[in-house]
Amino acid sequence: MLLQQIINGLTLGATYALIALGYTMVYGIIQLINFAHGDIYMIGAFIGVAAVALFHQNFFLTLATAMLACVVLGMTIERVAYRPLRRAPRLNLLITTIGVSIFLETFMTVLKGPQPTGFPPVLKNVTLRVGTLEFSSIQLVILLVSVALMVGLQFIVKYTKIGKAMRAASEDYDTASLMGININRVISFTFAIGSALAAAGGVLVGIYFNSVSPYMGVTAGLKAFVAAVLGGIGNIPGAMLGGLLLGLAEVFGVAAGFSTYKDAIAFTLLIIILLVRPTGLLGRPIQRKV
């Protein structure tokens, strides 16, 4: 029973982690909380639905289509809405992301209506049994795909040139640009990767809960954001850890009988962690400069 809950928690947590990575990478480089990120996740899920319903693609093609489309979307948003504000006060940039978020949500509502749509069957759902443990094949796929994507991300960040540039930019934005790093390219690439991961998360969640709606990005986005903060925003392993912790906390909270307060669990955890460790579990302490 306990192991069962852990699997459920990890499945949920893995999807939070996928979305959280986008928040954390963008924050790491330009210190921006991108509130439109949850909506990119939502659009990704809808593109997944369209890919299956219109073109009868298989699971991996669906995932790839959604990710690719959201890469284009994420980069476009960054170019059109965020880049002109690079030197503006940060609060303005924040409000711009909210504007984009409202835009994307209503765009999808106008297009598809506010009601949730089902995700057309793309994966066979088989119940797997190991001893007394029961879990669905979909859960297994979610975990495997999430882990694969996160390993891929680690590889890009650790071993490629653009990953090195990303790390440099997150260390010190101005110095990095003085060292000849094309900062616009780095930021664009960061948005691209973040959006791709969010889209993957959207498709996986859509399949898992068999429901996709224009407002799914709001709560999921907020929770993923909480996950990013829990782990220490700007920190990639932190986001993964935060996502998994949050998933587990939620599943155990519900199992303990707090199901009506499910959505508050994440935020209570958030406030507690912020008060104890203001920069998150793996975050570096902020220096107060005189």
State yes or no: residue 89 binds other proteins (CB under 8 A).
yes
Give the one residue of 3, 102, 128, 144 binding other proteins; rule: CB under 8 A.
102
Largest CA distance in the chain: 61
Contact (CB, 8 A) for 108 and 216? no
State yes or no: residue 109 binds other proteins (CB under 8 A).
yes
Of 38, 5, 4, the C-alpha closest to 249 is 5
Distance CA 279, CA 221 (A): 19
Beta bridge partners of 136: 127
Residue that is written with structure tokens 């986001």 in the block:
239
Minimal distance, residue 102 CB to other proteins, in Å? 3
Give the one residue of 85, 132, 198, 209 binding other proteins; rule: CB under 8 A.
85
Residues 212-241 that bind other proteins (CB under 8 A): 218, 222, 225-226, 229, 233
Contact (CB, 8 A) for 22 and 88? no
Residues 179-218 that bind other proteins (CB under 8 A): 218
**Residue 75 or 218 having the CB closest to other proteins:** 218
255 burial via Cβ count (<10 Å: 0-12, 13-18, 19+)? middle
State yes or no: residue 33 binds other proteins (CB under 8 A).
yes
Size of the residue set binding other proteins (CB under 8 A): 47
Residues 43-72 that bind other proteins (CB under 8 A): none
Beta bridge partners of 127: 136
State yes or no: residue 106 binds other proteins (CB under 8 A).
yes
Give the one residue of 55, 60, 107, 155 binding other proteins; rule: CB under 8 A.
107
State yes or no: residue 250 binds other proteins (CB under 8 A).
no
The contact pattern for other proteins, residues 137-166, with x = CB under 8 A and - = no contact, is ------------------------------
Give the one residue of 3, 72, 88, 148 binding other proteins; rule: CB under 8 A.
88
Distance CA 159, CA 175 (A): 21
Minimal distance, residue 36 CB to other proteins, in Å? 9
Distance CA 144, CA 190 (A): 23
Cα radius of gyration rounded to whole Å, the chain: 19
| C-alpha distance from residue 73 to each of 47, 77, 212, 270 (Å) | 11, 6, 19, 30
Minimal distance, residue 112 CB to other proteins, in Å? 12
Q: Which residues contact 92 (CB under 8 A, 6 or more apart)?
A: 85
Output the six-digit token pair for 187: 């930021």
Residues at the site binding other proteins, with contacts judged by CB under 8 A: 31, 33, 35, 81, 84-85, 88-89, 91-93, 95-96, 98-107, 109-110, 218, 222, 225-226, 229, 233, 260-261, 263-264, 266-268, 270-271, 274-275, 278-279, 286, 288, 290
